[in-house]
Amino acid sequence: MDSKIIIAAFLSSVPVLLLLGATEAHVEYGAYNITCPNAEAIVFQEMTQILATSPDQAGSLLRLHYVDCFVRGCEASILLNSTAGNTAEKDADMNKDVRGYDVIDRIKAKLEQACPGIVSCADIIALAARDSIRLSNGPNIPIGTGRRDGNGSSAADVPLNLPSANSSITQLISFFAKYNLTAKDLVVLSGAHTIGKAHCYSFSDRLYNYNESGNSDPRLDASYKTLLSQECSPNDMTSLVPLDTNNATAFDLGYYAGLTRMKGLLTSDVALLDDATTNSYVMRQANSTSPNEFFADFGTSFMILGKIGALTHSKGEIRRQCSAVNPPSPSPSPSPSPSPPPKNSAEKINAFSSFFSVGVVLSYLLLQYY
Ligand code: HEM
């Protein structure tokens, strides 16, 4: 029996070693359970404190996740600062009003104290967005973690990947299709506009110069138009207006109800009425007495959004500071047999568990055979 075990262990190590090279980490539930068990609790605690004093930040953090994922994938490229010779995404015209960077830095600092070098900025954005929804009385969405941070960011990528506030339904559907998101995902995720605010300049053409006509958008309720005109003078560059006129801090069905009453704020919101699939979803939610269907759908689409282009395994890095890529590590001194790059503890545990479990299964099969 002993010799069989030795033979089995020897034979199984060959395919195991081959398999190890192909082992891929994924965005998975509890990716920090071993390496930083309190990671998700720390994010939730910070978000609870932040939103208690600044509830407006919930919308900003949720939007941050969306604009991150649509450009280069969910890998925190939105957080990188511009450098000499490179204008980063955050300085692109379309992103000039993206907010919440200070919140991410605050959470990152807490996580670095608890578990240095373990939790990625991309995961912090995703978890902060998830908690923003929950803390605004929305669903508590179980999301995976294990995303790693990218090392590039370019303002030029933004207009190619993010739809503008003036998009038609055809443009919105085709932007979302690029990420395998359906028309249903579009109408569900647009429901995020149930919280947060928009600057007057994001919709003022609807008040003063719709389609260059010099008039207002006919699809704007008259009393809502009056209200918005009081808030926003034609060249107002600073004022903010709720995206959901019913309640901008509660994650509820008010956004859809507003759309059916011609009280949608952005052209892209109103556009959801122009397609059969998106229109019927808006109508159903607007007339629903329970948010349950919307909450379940939002959870599903939000999880798909959060996996777009995520970097895992050896791709990318865990940034030490969210606003800059890590400095290059010092070049190793020449040696006859160069050692592989050091793995972080999550990767070591992942590799060990793959090695162990595949080895055990193969050994068991071989012993059965002998
Ligand atoms: C369908 C295409 C979309 C367009 C064209 C769009 C456009 C916009 C615009 C123009 C603003 C206002 C920015 C400002 O003036 O400060 C905004 C805000 C916001 N967006 Fe979207 N968005 C879209 C989809 C999404 C998605 C998919 C999400 C999240 C899942 C999202 C979440 C938000 C939130 C929460 C805010 C409020 C931000 C704050 O309060 O700081 N949006 N969006």
DSSP state of 186: H
pLDDT at 172 over 80: yes
Tell me the CA–centroid distance for residue 98 and ligand 1, in Å.
9
Comparing CA positions, the residue from 93, 63, 6 lying closest to residue 243 is 63
| Interval 348-363 mean pLDDT | 45
Burial class (CB in 10 A: 0-12, 13-18, 19+), 178: exposed
pLDDT at 369 over 70: no
pLDDT at 240 over 50: yes
Q: Which residue has the higher pLDDT, 343 or 296?
A: 296
What is the rounded CA–CA span in Å between residue 196 and residue 57? Answer: 8
pLDDT at 3 over 60: no
C-alpha torsion angle, residues 240, 191, 140, 51 (rounded to 10):
0
Using the structure block, give the residue that is written with the tokens 């990767």.
347
| Interval 245-263 mean pLDDT | 97
- Per-residue pLDDT band at 333 (split at 50, 70, 90): low
pLDDT at residue 334, rounded to an integer? 59
pLDDT at 357 over 90: no
**Which uninterrupted H or E stretch holds 198?**
strand 197-199
Q: What is the pLDDT of residues 38-70, one digit of tens each?
A: 999 999 999 999 999 999 999 999 999 999 999
Comparing CA positions, the residue from 354, 342, 364, 318 lying closest to residue 124 is 318
pLDDT at residue 255, rounded to an integer? 98
Atom 13 in ligand 1: residue holding the nearest Cα: 198
| Interval 112-136 mean pLDDT | 98
- Per-residue pLDDT band at 335 (split at 50, 70, 90): low
pLDDT at residue 138, rounded to an integer? 98
Tell me the CA–centroid distance for residue 214 and ligand 1, in Å.
26
Binding-site annotation: residue ranges for heme b: 193
| Interval 245-274 mean pLDDT | 97
| 311 residue type, one letter | L
pLDDT at residue 342, rounded to an integer? 45
Comparing CA positions, the residue from 51, 68, 59, 176 lying closest to residue 120 is 68
pLDDT at residue 356, rounded to an integer? 45
Q: What is the pLDDT of residues 78-118, one digit of tens each?
A: 999 999 999 999 999 999 999 999 999 999 999 999 999 99
Comparing CA positions, the residue from 321, 325, 319, 362 lying closest to residue 344 is 319
- Per-residue pLDDT band at 329 (split at 50, 70, 90): confident
Q: Which of 37-41, 166-170, 328-332 has the lowest mean pLDDT?
A: 328-332
Tell me the CA–centroid distance for residue 42 and ligand 1, in Å.
26
Q: Which residue has the higher pLDDT, 359 or 307?
A: 307
% of the chain residues with pLDDT over 70: 83
Q: Which of 45-49, 205-209, 300-304, 355-359 has the lowest mean pLDDT?
A: 355-359
pLDDT at residue 6, rounded to an integer? 40
List, in sequence order, the alpha helices (H) in 178-334.
183-189, 204-208, 222-231, 254-260, 267-270, 276-286, 292-305
Residues with beta carbon inside 6 Å of ligand 1? 59-60, 62-63, 66, 97, 99, 163-165, 167, 172, 189-190, 192-193, 195-199, 202, 243, 266, 268
| Residue 186 C-beta-side C-alpha neighbours within 13 Å | 31
Q: What is the pLDDT of residues 194-221, one digit of tens each?
A: 999 999 999 999 999 999 999 999 999 9
- Mean pLDDT estimate for the chain: 88
| Interval 227-249 mean pLDDT | 96
Tell me the CA–centroid distance for residue 202 and ligand 1, in Å.
10
Binding-site annotation: residue ranges: 68, 71, 73, 77, 89, 163, 193-194, 244, 252
Return the structure tokens found at 134: 């929950």
What is the rounded CA–CA span in Å between residue 362 and residue 370? Answer: 12
- Per-residue pLDDT band at 26 (split at 50, 70, 90): confident
Q: How distant, in Å, are the alpha carbons of 56, 194, 213, 247 from that of 136?
A: 10, 10, 39, 11
